[in-house]
Amino acid sequence: MEDKKTLIYACAKELFNNKGFKDTNISEITQKAGMAVGTFYKYYPSKEKLFMDIFLEENAKLKKQSLQSLDLTRSPLEVVGQMLALNAEGTNANPILKEWYNKSVFEKIEKLYREENGLGAVDFLYDGFLELVKEWQAQGKMRKDIDNKMIMMIFAAIINIDTHKEEIGLEYFPQLLEIMTNLIMKGLMDCSE
């Protein structure tokens, strides 16, 4: 049984990688896997759910690789800048993760996934990064008067700015993101109070 689910997953991942979410359909996935469409629904309620599972796995891999590549001896400003750069680079290099920037696709997928799994189910931020923020706070490198989870949401907001490039103006990127990150980090690192 699990072999069929694994095969569906692998075939879908390959098709999503090559064709994108919109241009891949369930019958193509099952045809590639050599099984009937009905078999798909034994394992996944929708194409969106399967895509989100693949997306989350790819995102987790990128997070892990990025965290392993960081030079944690540097200042919080440098580490966060490096993390954002690695995240952007990895996302742009991966066709599945790149769907994050396809607003029409991703809004629909995320909405359905949240409905199925609850509001907190989609956490695209760096789980392991929270521990680093706590460490910086303990060392006096980052403000303690702001809850560490709130700081993580500030980082999430920085990342989400990228999805609004068209509304803001493409000509301002990536400089806008760099300036905002710099200003926010300097504010978070001001431990004078």
Just give the CATH number of 1-44: 1.10.10.60
Q: Which residue has the higher pLDDT, 106 or 63?
A: 63
* Model pLDDT, residue 184: 96
- The three state secondary structure string of 150-166 is HHHHHHHHHHHHHHHHH
Residue 132: pLDDT over 70: yes
Mean pLDDT is lowest, of 3-7, 48-52, 96-100, 124-128, for: 124-128
DSSP characters over 108-133: HHHHHHHHHH-GGG---S-HHHHHHH
Q: Is residue 127 very low, low, confident or very high in pLDDT (cuts 50, 70, 90)?
A: low
> Can you tell me the distance from the alpha carbon of 136 to that of 93, in angstroms, rounded to the nearest whole number?
30
Residues above pLDDT 70, as percent of the chain: 90
pTM higher than 0.85 for the full model?
Answer: no
- Predicted confidence (pLDDT) at residue 149 exceeds the cutoff of 50: yes
The predicted-structure confidence for 9-31, as pLDDT tens digits, reads as follows: 999 999 999 999 999 999 999 99
Could you tell me which residue, 25 or 84, shows the higher pLDDT?
25
Burial class (CB in 10 A: 0-12, 13-18, 19+), 83: buried
| pLDDT at residue 93 tops 60 | yes
Q: How confident is the model at residue 114 (pLDDT cuts 50, 70, 90)?
A: low
Contact status, residue 80 vs residue 185, Cβ threshold 8 Å: yes
